[in-house]
Structures are given as C-alpha cells and as structure tokens.
Structure 1
C-alpha cells in the first residue's frame, strides 16, 4: 500500500522542486534555505492539487469511469483557490457558459492558470508542466497582491 503512493510523492517533489522552485533557492544560510523551502512546500501542495484536478479524471476516463471523472471535473475551484484568486482569474479567463453565480470548476481554474503561464496544449493532453503551472501561479499572485493593495487603498479613502 505504501509503495502505491510513491508516484504521488514523486509528483509532489516535482511540484515542490521544479514548479515552486525549491531547487532554485540559492541562500548562504542553511536556516534561511530551510525556511524558504518549507514555505514552498505548501505552494507545492496547492500546485499538486491543481494538477490532480486534471490528471485524475484523465486516468479515470481511460479506465472507463466516466461518471467519477465528470464528478471530479465539476469540483468547485474554491477547494484550492481563495475567493480573490479565482475571481481575478475569472476577470482574465471567463469560462464558457458560466452563469455568473456559481464558483467555477477546479478543471477550469487549472486550465486558466496554465494559460496564464503560457500553456498552449500542443500535445493535446490538457496537462501543463510544473514550470508552466508555476508561471501561471506566480503571475496570478502578482495580480492578487495588486488587487488587495488597491482594495486597501480604496477602503482607506485614497484615490487610485
């Protein structure tokens, strides 16, 4: 049973090291490096959750489990994204047929984030690489910081 989880652990390491950039950290103090890669581990988990939103239904369909795959495809994106994050993503990449009320699906959020990172799906798998997901995530976080700062300034009565 433990060995069957090995691939998921390997995927986490890819998300953490390649996607979130734990390997790219160059610090002289070991304690600083330890703190940085610990924080990046949490980002790696979120990136892994996003990628699994696509990969698990993909493999379920290959096994003929269409209903289970569709259920996962329609999972709400607020299980991984904060409200500010998915609403900003909505402003950039509105899903087809969205009614304007419900939270969009996690599959849509993954695909939108991948496109934000430069994903073009040339292999037609719908599965973006870790660096692409990271680029989309990093770009989205930049927008979130700006949005929250603007909200705070408006709340304080400052003009933008």
Structure 2
C-alpha cells in the first residue's frame, strides 16, 4: 500500500483547482483514515472467523480430548499464541500445536486473499476512472482543433 499512497494523493490534489485543495486534502485524509480503521476491523473478523473454524476441525482431526479442546478454545483470542493445556503427553502436544499453527496460517491466508481481491478491485476502478478529464467524465467530447 505504501507505493499507492503518494500517487493517489497526487491524483486527488491534481484533480481539483487551488481553491479546493484544502477540502480535497481533508477529504483524502479522512477517507484514508476511515478505510484503515475499517480494514483493520474487517480483517480481524475474517482472521478470527477462519481461525476458529479451522481450529475446531483441527482439534477434531487431532483427536483432542474434550478437556484439551475446551482449554485451547478458551485461548482462541490469542490466535497462534494460544497455550497448550498442562499435563498432556508430547505426541498430543505436537498435534495440538500443529492444529493451532495451521489455523493461524489458514486465517492469514484468507486475510491475504481478501487484500489481494481488494487491490485488484482498486486497480480495476483506477483503470476505469483515472485518465479521463472532467469533461470526459461528464460525457462532453472535447472540440477538435
């Protein structure tokens, strides 16, 4: 995203005259901050949703006991930092650790897929919208010289 911020700001500022530069800058900053906050919230929900779903399946596949499953599910909010229940054998600990790690990777993968999709949509909208002058956007054809 860092390679897109400067060109986007330049595009916004060049799209308006000097009299509206302050308003354009303020709107650009406000939209940027709101989008950042919304993205963090949405990506967090996606991560938690996928992590929980994959973790539940991973615990079933690992054959975790009801007590071990309850202990780990109580630590879901810690994601990959979830602690293992005390007093389990090494084989069970390895299986549970792998289930937690796979759940985190699956959640991260989904977040990255959503990011890639949004970047693709952004590129598509830029391709469609940028490059047309104000008269072209309104359907006015410039006079030939």
Structure (1/2) with the larger helix percentage: 2
> Which has more radius of gyration?
2
